[in-house]
Homo-oligomer: A and B are copies of this chain.
Amino acid sequence: MLWITDEGKPEDSFRYAVSDVLVRAKTQFQDLAIVDTTAYGKALVLDGNWQSCVADEFLYHEPLVQPALLVHGSPKRVAILGGGEGGTLREVLRWSCVERAVMIDLDEDVVAACKEFLPEMHQGAFDDPRAEVQICDATSWLDTTDEKFDVVISDLSEPLEHGPSYQLFTQEYFQQVRRVLRPDGIFAIQAGSVAPHEITVFARVASTLRTVFEVVRPYASFVPSFAAPWGFLLASSEHDRDLPSPESVDRMIRTTTSGGLRMLDGESFRGLFSTSAHIRSAISAETTVYTLADPPQI
């Protein structure tokens, strides 16, 4: 039997039965694998870390993208940091008011492999005329771009020490994100597991965001193949914007998107932001701020 194990947690590891290996390569930046699994369908694995799979990626990509767009209400320009599989781009492009979606990804080979082997994830999003993929480091892009966006979505791999994305979880780069956002813009970021014994990194990302943005809202979604409840944060500069009501969410989805959502509607939107008390406690107790001088260490 062939298996893949998630190296993210060496001690407590999940092993998935693999029925086929579609791609296995060393790119310039990382070890890339696209495998077909018995239970979870096709999956993308980078440097041994499970990224997403066909069976439950909607429980990751919908919560990562839709809340920011729904809270904004009429997004026209959206930037995505990372997002190789194209699932994040797909979710953004559901919105008919979106005129431009720029995706910044470091690794051309990952994007090309996902384009070819994971059509179930991107569903043609890369061919949408509103989409543009820029192959470059998100830090350089944030340092140099002049564009302004309604929504920025951070869909980067974990902030591993010495890894390619740890800088993008620091105060300095959250300030850069704020710089490229319009005043009423929204920033959404995936920020790791909120399992009780692993919630520290998530809480520190929240604590760091609070030093840059006026409003920071945590939420979480169950992603079974991650073997953990996954945490996201929504950050913005306006104090006075409430979350839309379930009815309003249902109406926006009906009128301004092409539909097809499997997880998100008015009810589950409300559910996402009605988090378990242990998540709120962990965040409110946390004071550590990640900076370039003192970045995440995992």
Contacts and interface: CB of A to CB of B under 8 A. Distances in A.
A188 to B, nearest CB: 18
A224 interface: yes
A119 interface: no
- Interface residues on chain A, size class: 35 or more
A130 to B, nearest CB: 26
A14 interface: yes
Given A58-B196, A224-B228, 14 more contacts: A1-B7, A11-B17, A12-B40, A21-B24, A39-B197, A40-B197, A55-B196, A194-B222, A261-B277, A262-B281, A267-B275, A270-B270, A271-B274, A272-B274
- State how many copies of this chain the complex holds: 4
Contacts of A252: none
Q: Which of A48, A220, A263, A281 has the most CB of B within 10 A?
A: A263
Contact of A264 (B196, B271, B277): B277
Interface string A154-195: 000000000000000000000000000000000000000111
A2 B33 contact: yes
Nearest to A2: B4
Interface of A: 1-5, 7, 9, 11-21, 24, 33, 35, 37-40, 48, 55-56, 58-59, 193-198, 220-222, 224, 227-229, 246, 261-265, 267-278, 280-281
A110 B13 CA distance: 27
Nearest to A56: B196
Contact of A274 (B11, B12, B15, B267): B267
Contacts of A40: 12, 197
Contacts of A9: 39
A269 to B, nearest CB: 8
Contacts of A264: 276-277
A55 B228 CA distance: 13
Nearest to A48: B1
Given A12-B17, A56-B197, A227-B227, A274 B278 contact: no
A24 to B, nearest CB: 5
A6 B281 CA distance: 30
A1 B2 contact: no
B33 A12 contact: no
A119 to B, nearest CB: 19
A39 B8 CA distance: 13
Contact of A2 (B35, B198, B278, B280): B35
14 contacts: A1-B4, A3-B3, A3-B4, A11-B17, A12-B39, A40-B197, A55-B197, A56-B195, A193-B224, A263-B276, A265-B277, A271-B272, A271-B275, A271-B276
B12 A12 contact: no
A25 to B, nearest CB: 10
Q: Name the residue in A4, A15, A228, A275 with the highest tally of chain B Cβ atoms < 10 Å from its Cβ.
A: A15
A232 B242 CA distance: 30
